[in-house]
Amino acid sequence: MKEVRIAPIKNGTVIDHIKPGKALKVLDLLGIDGEERMALSLAMYAHSKKAGSKDLVKIEEKELKVDEVNRLAILTPNASISIIRDFQVVRKFNVAPPEVLEGIVKCENINCITNQNEPVPSRLIMTRKDPRTYKCHYCGRLQSDIEKNII
Amino acid sequence: MLKGKDIVAINDLSQDEIERILNKAREMVPIARAEKKSRLLEGRILASFFFEPSTRTRLSFETAMQRLGGSVITVTGQEGTSIIKGETLADTVRMAECFSDIIVLRHPREGAARLAAGFSNIPVINGGDGAGQHPTQTLLDLFTIKEEFNDISKLHVTIAGDLKYGRTTHSLSVALSRMGASLSFVAPPTIQMPDHILDEISGMGADHELSSDLMGCIPKTDVLYMTRIQKERFPDFEEYIKVAGAFRLDLDMLENAKKGMIVMHPLPRVDEVHPDIDPTEHARYFQQAFNGVPVRMALLSLILEGDI
Ligand SMILES: [Zn+2]
């Protein structure tokens, strides 16, 4: 089986090694819904030597910024990002789970003050690397499923 | 240094700061009893904002402020409810700081005090935020124990009742472990101490056990801390009656208790501590309630005036 069956891009961003099945959620998290008329290609459950299968997204003419990449780490911590200019990889990095998630994931405690109409972004702080655990800065609740509460 | 500090959670305080508060509280006892007069906080104003009823905590803070010669502005009841509906807490806090020198906040939402402290330029003391933190309760519990025994590291403390939802038991357990006490957690399995608290306690190397046998734990206990088991925690009333019955303390259960063992309860109680125990040498819950005043006096004075 061929590694990946979509064509290289001239300029833009390649997000590789996405957890299989999460590509659509990745686009959602990046706020891409098709309205932008952005050229992009996507592969799901593609064969991968490293992980068996993976998803892959190529976005043309858009270079992802670091805070956008941080968001992805919540969904697919092993993804790698390549910035492409004129068919060349000019920058490659892995997503790293951020120490602080600010305004990205809401606190799962429905009675938390940040789930009211207060003028503050949610703020979750990593308290443990393995298993990766986040705690709400405000109410102290340990979060059981941050993926579910992505804003 | 406690001057100007927010008190949101007991973990915000170092061991040294806790000691300092408890020592200061001891100095405050004669003033709390009105045996001595103080004008230490004369001209200072406490904003006592209670967006959820808690008469005991509110009166205790207000008494503490007034015993030190300070004054109090207060929001409670219906007025509080309409403020909550009408504006954000962030705005309420910035209004309060125009009128006062320190804020005590009681709020139905968890994390409210942390948020308020972030917006306020004057110190905020958490008087309880929903099911979250209630640091002054923990301080007055520690003070009550320390007044009795002094060296907490040698004590065995048994905490009984609703340990899953009872927030006061969580921060008390962590604070006692930090001070080296050994602990028994006595509760029905469905409302035992949550794992993340047990992890925290194990992390400090504190000796502890889980049990559902209250009677069996009493002989080795120095401090028996009782809490209320709430009906709402159980699927049906019969189950509640059965469980609650096993966690009720009456006089004959104290037969094998150590002579100096004290019984504490954050009050109000329903029937988990029988009134027959009230006149015995073991009862300390009314003393504990009184201790809220000197402890809060200590906090107010240390935060507003520093260690003088
Ligand atoms: Zn929260």
DSSP-assigned states of every residue in A50-99: TTEEEEEEEEET-PPPHHHHHHHHHH-TT-EEEEEETTEEEEEEE----S
Dihedral pair phi/psi, residue B47, rounded to 5°: -90, 115
Task: Look up B56 and say whether it is catalytic.
Answer: yes
Mean pLDDT for the stretch of residues A95-99: 86
Measure the CA–CA gap between B279 and A136, rounded to whole angstroms.
44
Confidence of residue B150 (pLDDT cuts 50, 70, 90): confident
Closest partner CB to A138 (pick from B88, B111, B196) = B111
Residue B3 in domain: no
Residue B4 in domain: no
- DSSP characters over B63-75: HHHHHTT-EEEEE
Closest partner CB to A119 (pick from B88, B114, B130) = B88
Mean pLDDT for the stretch of residues A116-127: 95
Residues B21, B61, single domain; the answer is yes
Residue A87: partners with Cβ closer than 8 Å, 6 or more residues away: A8, A9, A10
Q: Which of B92, B115, B120, B195 to mutate to test the interface with A (most CBs of A within 10 A)?
A: B115
Q: Report the range out of A9-13, A128-132, B221-225 with the highest average pLDDT.
A: B221-225
pLDDT at position B116 is: 98
* ipTM for the complex shown: 0.90
Residues B194, B213, single domain; the answer is yes
Of B24, B58, B106, B296, the active-site residue reads B106
Confidence of residue B308 (pLDDT cuts 50, 70, 90): low
Helix (H) or strand (E) holding B126: strand B124-129
Query: What is the SS3 assignment for A25?
Result: helix
Is B107 near chain A, with CB under 8 Å? yes
Q: What is the CATH number of the domain that holds B41?
A: 3.40.50.1370
Q: Which of B179, B129, B225 is nearest to B13 (CA)?
A: B179
Max CA pair span of chain B: 56
Match 């705690």 to its residue by tokens.
A135
What is the strand order of the sheet B71-75 is part of? Answer: B71-75, B45-50, B102-107, B124-129
Residues B200, B250, single domain; the answer is yes
Burial string for B269-281 (b: 16+ CB within 10 Å, else e) reads eeebbeeebeeee
Confidence of residue A97 (pLDDT cuts 50, 70, 90): confident
Render pLDDT for A49-84 as a digit per residue (tens, 0 to 9): 877 899 999 999 999 887 778 778 888 888 999 999
Residues B110, A141: C-beta atoms closer than 8 Å:
yes
Confidence of residue B152 (pLDDT cuts 50, 70, 90): very high
pLDDT at position A31 is: 85
Residues B111, A119: C-beta atoms closer than 8 Å:
no
Measure the CA–CA gap between B184 and B126, rounded to whole angstroms.
28
Closest partner CB to A139 (pick from B90, B108, B111) = B111
Q: Tell me which residues of chain B, numbers 162 to 201, contact chain A at a CB-CB cutoff of 8 Å.
A: 196
Distance A111 CA to ligand 1 centre (A): 8
Match 């096993």 to its residue by tokens.
B246
Closest partner CB to A118 (pick from B90, B129, B133) = B90
Q: Report the range out of A85-94, B65-74, B157-166 with the highest average pLDDT.
A: B65-74
Residues B117, B198, single domain; the answer is no
- Straight-line distance from the first to the last Cα atom of chain A, in angstroms, rounded to the nearest whole number: 37
Helix (H) or strand (E) holding B180: none
Q: Name residue B160's beta-bridge partners.
A: B186, B226
Higher pLDDT pick, A69 / B178 = B178
Measure the CA–CA gap between B7 and B123, rounded to whole angstroms.
8
Residue B87 in domain: yes
pLDDT at position A60 is: 93
Residue A34: partners with Cβ closer than 8 Å, 6 or more residues away: none
Burial string for A27-42 (b: 16+ CB within 10 Å, else e) reads bebbeeeeeeeeebeb
Residues B111, A114: C-beta atoms closer than 8 Å:
yes
Higher pLDDT pick, B86 / B303 = B303
For residue B92, pLDDT beyond 90: yes
| Residue B160 one-letter amino acid | A
Task: Look up B76 and say whether it is catalytic.
Answer: no
Residue B86 in domain: yes
User: Which residues of chain A are within 8 Å of residue B135 when distances are taken between CB atoms?
Assistant: none
pLDDT at position A7 is: 81
For residue A2, pLDDT beyond 60: no
Measure the CA–CA gap between A10 and B236, rounded to whole angstroms.
66
Q: Evaluate the CA torsion angle B278, B281, B287, B288 in order and state its sign.
A: negative
Render pLDDT for B50-63 as a digit per residue (tens, 0 to 9): 999 899 999 999 99
Residue B5 in domain: no
Residues B152, B262, single domain; the answer is yes
Closest partner CB to B110 (pick from A112, A119, A120) = A112
Residues B96, B235, single domain; the answer is no
Structure tokens at A109: 């405690």
Structure tokens at A25: 């959620």
Max CA pair span of chain A: 52
Distance A122 CA to ligand 1 centre (A): 8
Residue B222 in domain: yes
Residues B200, B268, single domain; the answer is yes
Residues B283, B145, single domain; the answer is yes
Residues B122, B193, single domain; the answer is no
The DSSP code for B193 is P
- Burial (0-12, 13-18, 19+ Cβ within 10 Å), B297: buried
Task: Look up B85 and say whether it is catalytic.
Answer: yes
Residues B88, B72, single domain; the answer is yes
Measure the CA–CA gap between B21 and B141, rounded to whole angstroms.
12
Mean of per-residue pLDDT scores for chain A: 89
Q: Pick left, alpha or beta for residue B205 (phi over 0 → left; psi -120 to 50 → alpha; otherwise beta).
A: left
User: What domain range includes position B20?
Assistant: 10-133+292-305
Q: Tell me which residues of chain A, numbers 39 to 98, contact chain B at a CB-CB cutoff of 8 Å.
A: none
Mean pLDDT for the stretch of residues B75-98: 92
Is A133 near chain B, with CB under 8 Å? no
Q: Which of A138, A142, A143 to mutate to test the interface with B (most CBs of B within 10 A)?
A: A138
Residues B209, B246, single domain; the answer is yes
Confidence of residue A4 (pLDDT cuts 50, 70, 90): low
Q: Which of B109, B134, B174, B196 to mutate to test the interface with A (most CBs of A within 10 A)?
A: B109
Mean of per-residue pLDDT scores for chain B: 94
Total structural domains within chain B: 2
Measure the CA–CA gap between A104 and A143, rounded to whole angstroms.
13
Q: What is the pTM of this model?
A: 0.89
The residue in chain B having the minimum alpha-carbon distance to the alpha carbon of residue A140 is: B111
Residue B3: partners with Cβ closer than 8 Å, 6 or more residues away: B302, B303, B304, B305, B306, B307
Measure the CA–CA gap between B44 and B58, rounded to whole angstroms.
17
Residues B282, B157, single domain; the answer is yes
